[in-house]
Every structure is written in structure tokens, then in C-alpha cells.
């Protein structure tokens, strides 16, 4: 007789198998095991935007030596919002601020390899929030 845990594992395996037929491995991985989730105390750049769908995204950036040293995010959104924010944060770390200007909706969708068209607005929300936080970093550098 199978335990509840064994049945749960079989069912989750079936769900993941079906999801892999529809979504890319990168999208599933970022959406279910996000990188850089959380906040940064006293960030160099911060932004918070609520999109028209109702999802709210926060991006926190820390800069050192002209590069994004740390990038974190919070969202109350769906798996697609989580994946988009996770991708943006991952794409930014270690890059110069000018190089991060290219982190936009299409770059996030490309990084995730495949995103349903009806959820591409999640990548736009992540990109807009990231760019707003990045502007704050750039403005801070100009003041120094």
C-alpha cells in the first residue's frame, strides 16, 4: 500500500510531466524554484509596481564597483510573474549597469525560452520594475 507522500510524489511527477509538454524547463524551474527571492536591506535601487493584472513586483538592487552585485525580488503574482522576476534578477547579477539596460520584456521571455503569450505581461511587469530600480541606482551613482 502506498503512503500519502508516495501518492503525492507520483501526482506531482505527472503534473511536471504535463507542464514540460507546454512550458520550457527554464520557465518551470524559475517559476517553482526562483532564484534571488527576498529583499535587500538598504538597497542602492528599489522599485515597486502593481500591474494592471493586480500582481505587485518589488525589485531590490545592490551595486558594487559599477556592477549589480546582488538582485532580489518579491511578488505576490503567479508562477509566470515569479519566473519573470527570477529571470530578471538572475540576468542582472554581475553585469554593469549599462549592460542591464537590455533587460526588457523580450530579453526575459527569451531567457525563459518560452512563455505563453497571455502571460507575457508578467515579463513586462518584471522588466518595468527592474528598470525603475536600475534608474535609481544610476541616479545614485551620478550624485556621488
d(CA 82, CA 80): 5
pLDDT for 143: 59
In CATH, what class is 26-143?
Answer: alpha beta
What digits encode the pLDDT tens for the residues 78-136?
999 999 999 999 999 999 999 999 999 999 999 999 889 999 999 999 999 999 999 99
Taking the domains of the chain in order of start, what are their residue ranges?
Answer: 26-143
Residues 1-11 pLDDT 10s: 677 888 888 88
* Residue 72 neighbours by CB under 8 Å, 6+ apart: 36, 37, 38, 39, 40, 59, 60, 89
Q: In the Cβ-directed half-sphere of 11, how many Cα atoms lie within 13 Å?
A: 7
Cell numbers linked to 49: 509596481
Amino acid at each position: 500500500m502506498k503512503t500519502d507522500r508516495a501518492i503525492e510524489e507520483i501526482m506531482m511527477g505527472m503534473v511536471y510531466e504535463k507542464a514540460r509538454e507546454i512550458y520550457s524547463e527554464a520557465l518551470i524551474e524559475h517559476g517553482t524554484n526562483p532564484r534571488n527571492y527576498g529583499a535587500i536591506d538598504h538597497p542602492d535601487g528599489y522599485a515597486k509596481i502593481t500591474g494592471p493584472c493586480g500582481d505587485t513586483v518589488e525589485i531590490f538592487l545592490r551595486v558594487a564597483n559599477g556592477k549589480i552585485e546582488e538582485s532580489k525580488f518579491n511578488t505576490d503574482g503567479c508562477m509566470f510573474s515569479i519566473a519573470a522576476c527570477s529571470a530578471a534578477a538572475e540576468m542582472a547579477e554581475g553585469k554593469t549597469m549599462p549592460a542591464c539596460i537590455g533587460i526588457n520584456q523580450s530579453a526575459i521571455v527569451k531567457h525563459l525560452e518560452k512563455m505563453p503569450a497571455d502571460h507575457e505581461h508578467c515579463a513586462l511587469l518584471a522588466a518595468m520594475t527592474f528598470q525603475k530600480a536600475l534608474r535609481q541606482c544610476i541616479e545614485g551613482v551620478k550624485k556621488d
